[in-house]
Structure 1
Amino acid sequence: MQEDNLNNTSPEQTNNKEPAAENPYQLLDLKLTRVGKWAAGVPAVMAAMSDLVEEKTFFRGNRALLKMNQFNGFDCPSCAWPDPDDERSPVGEYCENGAKALAEEATTKKINAAFFQANAVYELAKLDDYKIGKMGRLAEPMYMPLGGTHYQPISWEDAFKKIAVHLNQLASPDEAAFYTSGRTSNEASFVYQLFAKVYGTNNMPDCSNMCHETSGSALLPTIGIGKGTVKLEDFYDTDVIVIIGQNPGTNAPRMMSALEKGKKKGAKIIAINPLPEAGLMGFHNPQQINGIVGSGVKLADLYLPVKINGDMALLKAIELLLLDFEKKSPGEVLDHAFIEEKTTGYNAFLSQFEKYDLAELSRQSGVSEADIYEAAQMMAFKKRIIICWGMGLTQQHNGVALIREILNLLLLKGSIGKPGAGICPVRGHSNVQGNRTMLIDEKPTDEQLDRLQDFFGFEPPRKHGYDVVHAIKAMHDGRLKVLFCMGGNFLSATPDTTYTAEAMRRLSLTVYVSTKLNRSHLVHGQESLILPTLSRSDIDLVNGVHQFVSTENSMGVVEWSRGMLKPVSEHLINETQIVCRMAIATLGSRSVINWQRYHDSYDAVRDDIEKCIPGFENYNVRIRQKGGFYLPNTARDGIFKTKTFGDRAPFTLTEIPDNTLATDEYLMATTRTHDQFNTTIYGLDDRYRGIKNERRVIFMNSVDIEKAGFSPGERVDLFNYDDGIERIAPLFIIVSYQIPERNAVTYFPETNVLVSINNVVKESNMPASKYVKIKIKKHDPTIYNRINQVL
């Protein structure tokens, strides 16, 4: 591989007129290493430290790590796993991926006007996402003029004028959309959604639309709240923890500490996943002696290798056995008092099991009858059960139904709304849950809008706006003209890459509030702005006062976060001030909001949040308390308040999907590597899965490889034909892996191109990136001609 050469690209991507929307179609130098049997330990510490060295911030970064996730420090910019309410490790209350995220924030490398003057967007787009992300921190605002080839410097004042001109010349406010990434603080999120509503639109697509919209869609109508119902302490004193469609070793490594504590107090852990992930199998805690020189802790007592989308059959099989156990031991398995007092629809739910057969459910799930029986037996005579899930469920086409089936199981057991029991959707990006609490939502309720109207005195728009999928379609057909992105990498996070890139190029203006360069900056509208902002770890001075922001973790704790690193550039502006200055430039005297007040004081923002959003009473006092405060959660307290079912939680009737495949088809799920967080690529290795220095791989079962006439290590092309359209992801290497037959796993964003814009989760409208039907063919070098014809 050529190093630091901006012209390094694959031949097939040199003839396109537009900058490449995908990673280069080139292979690196794949090396297979031992597949991991456990996660964390000394290798995790070494990997975290090496990133600090690579970013030339070893001492600066280590100083910041000691403050990350501490009571008087700043919140990790990575995942949303909660910090302990009691004591926190003084050595390091963070994980490997959190340290990598901090390294990229704390880097001393920066990108300024000279960099963009020397590098055309077309040439930058030939690099892979890893190299693009390693350029450094964005240091000053940049502008791409109409017909331009290079970003050029622009003053902040002129940037806001440019935005105002574009927004004010639209035929309707609904021709603009305001996207939000998860790391945006509560304060910035509140003023951001307020600006959009005062401007006149509810077009607020956000990253929830791509990760856990499914969870909210499933839970809100059934238990009255779209969030989890457990606290971190519940993991420490429970009987059974079920982890389904989630990989804690990579996606939420600090979760393993909670699992370890639960195991030590006697909890049993059931892991359900198509891949036997290291983080589900064992844990070497780097802060304990046995995690360094000992054997660590075995986590999963039982691993169930479910097929992709075989989860529904598995859940129903477990329920079938629980009902059978109840017949043999009446009153000892199901919680009939809870069912009678707290639920509805129980008899209709029971009647469906007359048509189910354990052997057939086992076949459909891919899990043996013996393993299903063992799982059911582990839960049968226990009441304190926690079920966790991630995007392995939420990104299935029937994800909403799957989560409601999980709720069905817990309702049978009475295992919700009591200590040591409940549901735990493991959220991804830090503060993605807080964004939604702050009304970042394309479908705000009338009650939420009424509170804003009563307090501020303006009439907010009532029509629902665009989510991510609808926004992309609206861009494509010309109904959207302006896209403002508050963080994130919109292009690389979204499905159907070719379609989405074409849609973004039809916009009149794209605006990106960012800390680092990413591919979305290179596939832009006719005009484009990059607005550099402070990171979570940066010192944020407003009128000489060191400010703090607040975030909400995945268990509903709101806590403060105050950066401590000197910013890499004097030209960075915090997100709240960016929104306020945009509002002042755009709305002028038309607005009833005093944006300058918010611009000058985060306390002022919090004062008004508490007037508009329930649960934030006395916000400025409680946020300054050690550890912050919990938001109200009625379902956690065993109270279910729903519009349709009143104070009862319904049993939901669901169907087992037909996952029949053609003889040459496979069911593919996309996933991230261990060296990656969402679209941010930290490195080119996937340590726990035994992959080194390569991302263009496809994991397949050895039986499938042989039946198809392939060989491990062979080069192949991947195809999807949804909607009658040929989508191509070329040049992948086959890796033989322990995975169910007819299933395949690849990394995103490399295979996002295969996910049709119409392949969505029912009800939540999320991209179903864990349920993609593909065909695999031997690599054909002429395939690039077909790709170029499409582009």
Structure 2
Amino acid sequence: YGDADRSIVSWCLGLTQHEHGVDTVREIVNLLLLRGNLGREGAGPSPVRGHSNVQGNRTCGIDHRPTDAFLDRLAEACGIEPPRAHGLDTVRTIEAMERGEIDVFVGMGGNFALAAPDTPRTCAALRGCDLTVQVSTKLNRSHLVHGRQALILPCLGRTEKDHQRKGVQSTSVEDSMSMVHLSLGMKRPASPHLLSEPAIVAGMARAALPDSPTPWEWYVEDYDRIRDTMAKALDGFEDFNRRVRLPLGFRIRQPARELVFLTPSGRAEFSAAPLPDVVPEPGMLALGTMRSHDQWNTTIYSDNDRYRGIKNLRTLVFMNRADMRERGIADMAPVDITSTARDGSRRSLHGYLAVPYDIPRGCAAGYMPEMNVLCALVDHSTQSDQPIMKHVKVTIEPAA
């Protein structure tokens, strides 16, 4: 790094799903600032997103704690008065379900039951809702873990042609580099009865708010009309429909990339954080969950993992060979894994196979969503509210 002319630092959930994930990202920025690796080509921080929805949703206002400035602009652009109270993140949503404060859960894709931590508790919370609605392109476990009433609303996939009154429609996506472009489906829809996500959302809005002055049906006829409203409501989306049709789309402005720093001093500022002791107690291991090669989020295409040389197996735990030897665990022997949460509660998985792997001593790893049961809902970062999926304190012993 010291000799490199320019450097990019990339990271993903392996850094953020820790108690001190925010401080870690700040240290990455400190490292980049030390050698001027910010605001110039071929340098800078690069958080890796799983897919365009993760990046684009937040850019377009999917935030449970929106700023007043954003809400004011949204109100002016849409002619509405949006709610000012903060919403709920994943952990708070599950807790609110348990208190009976959420009557209806609407999932726009995803697999909430298996993606969230503390699987049994999450499933019990979902079952307490009066109604659960899943807008989906494929079935998953969340369609089976539902409220007292349930709706499954199949929708068009992004690869399918989206025919509306004004012709075939395209949707905008944002990649990890903040580039925005259009995505146009090319395949014949799986069924002539499938609706698009905008059509489903508009239909739900009209049914729930029959007197709403918002022209829901007019928006669905032509998605350019949605983008015109976004151009008024979102900073950096001015002249949206023209710019998104450029050959490479357009990049959303990032002040720091242009060496404009929105800090009290107007300059880039280093940050400092304490260095807490995160080494597990004697006998404990720090377990992190992860995906296999043949997996897309919670969708598992096969039980193989070409990244790690695994075939036909997911109920496993990767361990350092010295940790295995210390515990009397043989290669591929069945083990019991028990986690201990902040509140002292314990959760266990039984009969998983121990696989020796090149992993640091004191660490272990296994696949999500199977191992999500080990991560308690109370074990979330006090800095970001992210579930601490990458630092679950566990003991691993030969199976009883």
Per the TM alignment, residue 544 of structure 1 is displaced from its structure 2 partner at its CA by 6.2
- In the alignment, structure 1 residue 709 sits paired with structure 2 residue 303: no
- In the alignment, structure 1 residue 477 sits paired with structure 2 residue 99: yes
Greater fraction strand: 2
**CA distance, structure 1, for counterparts of residue 369 and residue 209 of structure 2:** 37
Per the TM alignment, residue 487 of structure 1 is displaced from its structure 2 partner at its CA by 0.6
For residue 361 of structure 2, the aligned residue among 741, 748, 756 is 741
Greater fraction helix: 1
TM-score (norm 1): 0.50
* Residue 649 (structure 1) aligns with: 268
* Residue 381 (structure 2) aligns with: 761
Q: Contact 2:320–2:360 (CA<8 Å) still a contact in 1? A: yes
Overall identity of the aligned pairs, in %: 46
Q: Which runs of 4+ in 1 moved over 6 A?
A: none
For residue 261 of structure 2, the aligned residue among 615, 632, 640 is 640
**CA distance, structure 1, for counterparts of residue 100 and residue 285 of structure 2:** 35
Per the TM alignment, residue 455 of structure 1 is displaced from its structure 2 partner at its CA by 2.5
The aligned runs of 1:577-592 (5 Å cut-off) are 577-589=199-211, 591-592=212-213
* Residue 425 (structure 1) aligns with: 47
**CA distance, structure 2, for counterparts of residue 559 and residue 774 of structure 1:** 44
* Residue 227 (structure 2) aligns with: 606
Per the TM alignment, residue 752 of structure 1 is displaced from its structure 2 partner at its CA by 0.2
Q: Contact 2:51–2:175 (CA<8 Å) still a contact in 1? A: no
* Residue 666 (structure 1) aligns with: 285
Amino acid at match of 2:379: N
Per the TM alignment, residue 731 of structure 1 is displaced from its structure 2 partner at its CA by 1.9
Q: Contact 2:284–2:393 (CA<8 Å) still a contact in 1? A: yes
For CA contacts below 8 A with separation 6 or more, give which structure has more relative contact order: 1
Unmatched tracts of structure 1, length 5 or more: 1-378, 781-791
Amino acid at match of 2:224: D
1:76-130 deviations in whole A, cap 9, x for unaligned? xxxxxxxxxxxxxxxxxxxxxxxxxxxxxxxxxxxxxxxxxxxxxxxxxxxxxxx
Q: Contact 1:641–1:647 (CA<8 Å) still a contact in 2? A: yes
Amino acid at match of 1:523: V
Q: Contact 1:717–1:778 (CA<8 Å) still a contact in 2? A: yes
**CA distance, structure 2, for counterparts of residue 420 and residue 627 of structure 1:** 18
Amino acid at match of 1:633: Q
* Residue 677 (structure 1) aligns with: 296
* Residue 23 (structure 2) aligns with: 401
Q: Contact 1:399–1:762 (CA<8 Å) still a contact in 2? A: no
* Residue 188 (structure 2) aligns with: 566
Report the aligned-residue RMSD: 1.3
Unmatched tracts of structure 2, length 5 or more: none
Per the TM alignment, residue 383 of structure 1 is displaced from its structure 2 partner at its CA by 4.7
**CA distance, structure 1, for counterparts of residue 50 and residue 266 of structure 2:** 30
**CA distance, structure 2, for counterparts of residue 605 and residue 434 of structure 1:** 15
- In the alignment, structure 1 residue 616 sits paired with structure 2 residue 237: yes
* Residue 553 (structure 1) aligns with: 175
* Residue 443 (structure 1) aligns with: 65
Distance 1:562 1:402, change over 3 A: same
Q: Contact 1:729–1:750 (CA<8 Å) still a contact in 2? A: no
* Residue 250 (structure 2) aligns with: 629
Q: Contact 1:400–1:761 (CA<8 Å) still a contact in 2? A: no
1:440-493 deviations in whole A, cap 9, x for unaligned? 111111111001122233221111110111101111121212110011001111
Per the TM alignment, residue 659 of structure 1 is displaced from its structure 2 partner at its CA by 2.2
TM-score (norm 2): 0.97
**CA distance, structure 2, for counterparts of residue 502 and residue 633 of structure 1:** 42
1:611-668 deviations in whole A, cap 9, x for unaligned? 11121121112222212111111111111114xx242232111122212323321110
Per the TM alignment, residue 569 of structure 1 is displaced from its structure 2 partner at its CA by 1.1
Per the TM alignment, residue 675 of structure 1 is displaced from its structure 2 partner at its CA by 0.5
Per the TM alignment, residue 689 of structure 1 is displaced from its structure 2 partner at its CA by 0.6
Per the TM alignment, residue 401 of structure 1 is displaced from its structure 2 partner at its CA by 0.3
- In the alignment, structure 1 residue 778 sits paired with structure 2 residue 398: yes
1:369-408 deviations in whole A, cap 9, x for unaligned? xxxxxxxxxx224452211111110111110000001111
Amino acid at match of 1:569: S
Which of the two has higher C-alpha Rg? 1
SS in 1 for 2:135: strand
Per the TM alignment, residue 592 of structure 1 is displaced from its structure 2 partner at its CA by 2.8
Q: Contact 2:48–2:176 (CA<8 Å) still a contact in 1? A: yes
